Amino acid sequence: MADALLAARGLVVSYGRPSGWLGRGVSAPVVLHGVDIAIGKGETVGIVGESGSGKTTLGRSLLGLVAPAAGTVVFDGNDITTLDERARRPLRRRMQMMFQDPMSSLNPRHTIGQILTAPILLHGLAANRAAALTLVYGVLDRVGLARHTIERYSFELSGGQRQRVSIARAVVLRPDFVLADEIVSGLDVSTQAQVLRLLKELTSEMHLALAFISHDLSVIRSICQRVVVMREGRIVEQGSCQEVFAVPQSAHTRMLIDAIPLPTVDPGWLGRSGTETAATI
Amino acid sequence: MSELRLSITALSAISLRDGNRPILRRVSLMVDVGEVHGIVGESGAGKSTIAKAVLGIVPTQVRLTGGRIDFEGRNLLALSANDLRALLGRDIALVPQDPATALNPSRRIDAQMTDGLRLKRGLSARQARLRARALLEEVQIRDPDRVLASYPHQLSGGMRQRVLIASAFGLEPKLVIADEPTTALDVTVQKQILRLIRSLQERHGTSVLFVSHDLGVVAKICDRLTVMYMGKVMEQGGTAKVLSSPQHAYTRALLAANPRYDRPDTGLEPTPPEVLTALRAEIAAFDRGAREAEHG
């Protein structure tokens, strides 16, 4: 893609070190086998796969949270694969992340006000606390949280409110890229609908690029322009949602789509086995 | 004419921890012999509390305040602890939500599976082991001997859930309570597990009370549905009817919020404010009526 904001080439990631005598013998388990991915400015890309497919590792290596064994990551024209912490710091504002479980990503000892103002001050987006608070009020209004939420702690909020706080924390820094890792999987369907709508609006208003990791293809279809399907550390298919859902090229994609239970009665559905293999579960 | 297996009548419960807040509001539902009955709703709907009430394991902060649960002509809520224990496992079994925590991590699968078969079915150790092996084959586990010799952590989530399903159905219960049994699993594994539950249920004529938050899942496995909100039944009926012509605004709102890959331009509809207002009014009116009835 010509105007890719974020592009990875040949990403290989393995966890742990080689075991065995003097590090020889058994090699470290490889979780990404040479992955190529590009995300354009303002584009929302879904990354889907089953547990163990490498989708979370791919997301983390795009942000530099996991060091790849091989391959490059280029952000806005700069190779960021091997940047040290100091060189990476200016990028941190421009690349944000939202997690599955805000209970564990929001500090329970800090008020929501502290959680939202700290990164603004850290990155110098406001000269002082009062100015930072003005930005915080603006973002709270935008994500649909009352301003007095700043006095609350994360455990006092509902799941949907907590996820709005993580969205607020990410977008208040005016990033160019946000990684969202399974951010709606713990939510009720009505709350999920609200959070996804908000995310869709924000990405288009802010021209924000979003990598949206999910196991749920229906969710991906509803908010993403493109989708990347992963299996066992490899991309098995990628393309526009429209094409991939209409005519999936890979048998694995077809199997994932066929396995989604739609809320309609279809007596034959359970009996259709698709191409799944019983042995692997 | 179908035969009734489980009948829950006007079941009510309050939360002692939370100012005696009602968590079940005169819930009634009936499960026929051989029926898969789905209870569907969002968090706080009370669906798990119903499952726990049938199993006699409501948490200490919850108190059942009224109603009855009739199983084969006996009110489970009036049974002694011993009588209830005799029923559980043998006549009523559970498939839990999280296969990772439902198995004892320090015991091999064969020890855990044969316990129930020896205690509830009176099999000898040798017979129990053979039966466990046959049950694992019935849930399409290809190498039952390896699985029997394994500890839970050596098995995948799907495999563990198969072990639990084999254990639940293996005692040939009349009623299986399945509490979000596929929520922790990948979609392809979920589909296999749903198929498995349905085929075992059909083969043995088992009744299943299937608790889920997922309209898609209940659509594929349930014969009838009970839709709940805030501890109150909103709508009941045959699955096809409830999903294709929902009578209650809450059911319609749930369906409209649900994203569907085959209809990318619909779904994600927030619950209309007037529907939320009406729902709250419905709950409040119910609570007022219940208080008036109580005070005569």
CA distance B16 to chain A (A): 20
Count the residues in chain B: 296
Q: Which residues of A touch B257 (CB under 8 A)?
A: 189-190, 192-193
CA distance A19 to A117: 44
Strand residue runs (E) in chain B: 4-15, 21-32, 36-40, 62-71, 74-75, 92-95, 175-179, 207-212, 224-229, 232-238
CA distance A29 to A115: 36
Q: Is A246 on the interface with B (CB under 8 A)?
A: no
Domain extent, residue B287, equals: 4-106+151-294
Residue A281: predicted pLDDT: 40
Establish if B79 belongs to a structural domain: yes
Count CA within 13 A, CB hemisphere, residue B59.
10
Q: Is B182 on the interface with A (CB under 8 A)?
A: no
Q: For every residue of B207-250, which 3-state class applies, written as one string?
A: EEEEEECCHHHHHHHCCEEEEEECCEEEEEEEHHHHHHCCCCHH
Residue A22: predicted pLDDT: 58
CA distance A94 to chain B (A): 28
Is the four-CA dihedral A8, A224, B274, B255 of positive or negative sign? Answer: negative
Nearest alpha-carbon partner for B206 in B90, B56, B292: B90
Class of domain A4-259: alpha beta
Q: What is the CA radius of gyration of chain A?
A: 20
CA distance A168 to A141: 10
- C-beta atoms of B264 and A276 within 8 A: no
Are the beta carbons of A23 and A4 closer than 8 angstroms?
no
Give me the residues of A, 215-244, that contact B with CB < 8 A. 215-222, 241
Angle at B110 between CA B108 and CA B113, to 5 degrees: 110
Establish if B112 belongs to a structural domain: no
Are the beta carbons of A168 and A132 closer than 8 angstroms?
no
Q: Is A267 on the interface with B (CB under 8 A)?
A: no
Element holding B256 (H helix, E strand): helix B249-257
CA distance A117 to chain B (A): 30
Is the four-CA dihedral B278, B280, B283, B286 of positive or negative sign? Answer: negative
- C-beta atoms of B217 and A261 within 8 A: yes
Q: Which residues of B touch A217 (CB under 8 A)?
A: 187, 261
Q: Is B278 exposed, middle or buried (CB count within 10 Å of its CB: 0-12, 13-18, 19+)?
A: middle
In this model, does residue A223 exceed pLDDT 60? yes
Angle at B43 between CA A185 and CA B77, to 5 degrees: 135
Q: Which residues of A touch B41 (CB under 8 A)?
A: none
In this model, does residue A1 exceed pLDDT 70? no
CA distance A107 to chain B (A): 24
Residue B101: predicted pLDDT: 86
Question: What does the longest C-alpha to C-alpha distance in chain B come to?
Answer: 63
Establish if B123 belongs to a structural domain: no
Element holding B189 (H helix, E strand): helix B187-204
Summarize pLDDT for B51-68 with one digit per residue, the tens.
Answer: 999 999 999 999 999 999
Summarize pLDDT for B64-93 with one digit per residue, the tens.
Answer: 999 999 999 899 999 999 999 999 989 999
Q: Count H helices and E strands in chain B, helices first.
A: 12, 10
Summarize pLDDT for A168-180 with one digit per residue, the tens.
Answer: 999 999 999 999 9
Establish if B125 belongs to a structural domain: no
Are the beta carbons of B135 and B153 closer than 8 angstroms?
no
Summarize pLDDT for B240-270 with one digit per residue, the tens.
Answer: 999 999 999 999 999 999 999 999 888 899 8
Instruction: Supply the pTM of this predicted model.
Output: 0.91
How many domains does one find in chain B? 1
- C-beta atoms of A194 and B158 within 8 A: no
In this model, does residue A274 exceed pLDDT 80? no
CA distance B247 to B269: 18
Residue of B nearest to A275 (CA): B188
Summarize pLDDT for A84-105 with one digit per residue, the tens.
Answer: 888 888 889 999 999 888 888 8
Residues 6+ apart with CB under 8 A from B191: A258, A259, A261, A270, A276
Q: Is A121 exposed, middle or buried (CB count within 10 Å of its CB: 0-12, 13-18, 19+)?
A: middle
Query: What are the boundaries of each domain within chain A?
Result: 4-259
Residue A84: predicted pLDDT: 85
Using DSSP, state whether B25 is helix, strand or coil.
Answer: strand
Q: Is B269 on the interface with A (CB under 8 A)?
A: yes
Q: Binning pLDDT at 50, 70 and 90, where does residue A278 land?
A: very low
Residue B184: predicted pLDDT: 82
Give me the residues of A, 181-220, that contact B with CB < 8 A. 188-190, 192-194, 196-197, 215-220
Summarize pLDDT for A19-28 with one digit per residue, the tens.
Answer: 555 555 566 7
Mean pLDDT by 10 residues, chain B (296 residues): 90 92 96 97 94 94 96 94 92 89 93 91 93 91 94 91 92 94 89 92 95 96 98 98 97 96 90 94 93 79
Which DSSP letter does residue B258 get? S
Nearest alpha-carbon partner for A14 in A80, A84, A67: A67
Per-residue CA distances from B77 to B46, B92, B120 (Å): 17, 14, 21
CA distance B293 to chain A (A): 33
CA distance B296 to chain A (A): 37
**Which of A189, A241, A265 is opposite residue B243, by nearest beta carbon?**
A265
User: Look-up: residue for tokens 């309209």?
Assistant: B215
Give me the residues of B, 75-134, that contact A with CB < 8 A. none
Establish if B64 belongs to a structural domain: yes
Establish if B134 belongs to a structural domain: no
Q: Is A44 on the interface with B (CB under 8 A)?
A: no
Residue of A nearest to B260 (CA): A218
Q: Is A261 on the interface with B (CB under 8 A)?
A: yes
Residue B280: predicted pLDDT: 95
Q: Is B166 on the interface with A (CB under 8 A)?
A: no
